Structure 1
């Protein structure tokens, strides 16, 4: 298997960042993120605990970006076919 096929998250074709997962591990990470996001909304609804809600959503999102950084293609600006 080539090294590029080991990435869980491929680079976006245009812009900076990652696209949708290409491996089951990436899909599992994305599913876990959305499940924990839903639990956060249920426990710390923005109408009840705005500060805690923002903190937890920020932390969850930072963890997701960290996983993408470690297990995705190296990020750089892309202009399409290159």
Structure 2
């Protein structure tokens, strides 16, 4: 069990996180998606300005998901979590 909040379920196979299991996980995912859509809508998705915003947003989002996944990120073979 992790010491911090648990907002995302671990993947059943492989490494990483699955779907959110708490409202905070859904909220951060929604904020991330809306930010990406706004960024692409405003700057077209191909310019340097878009990359300067999308890359740090993605790094922050993955970091939050990594820290808030129940049981952490490790390789799983489909056994019970």
Shorter-chain TM band: 0.7 to 0.9
Aligned counterparts, 1:3-82, within 5 A: 6-47=5-46, 50-73=47-70, 74-82=72-80
Q: TM-score, normalised to structure 2's length?
A: 0.83
Q: Which has the higher strand share?
A: 2
Aligned residues: 78
Q: Which has the higher helix share?
A: 1
Q: TM-score, normalised to structure 1's length?
A: 0.82
For structure 2, the residue ranges without an aligned partner over 5 or more in a row are none
- In 1: Cα distance, 2:45 partner to 2:2 partner: 42
Give, in angstroms, the shift of residue 70 of structure 1: 1.8
Q: Is the 8 A contact 2:39 2:45 kept in 1?
A: no
User: Structure 1 stretches (4+) deviating beyond 4 angstroms?
Assistant: none
What's the secondary structure of 1:29's corresponding residue? helix
For structure 1, the residue ranges without an aligned partner over 5 or more in a row are none
Deviations 1:42-78 (A, max 9, x none): 222124xx21212211111111111112211310111
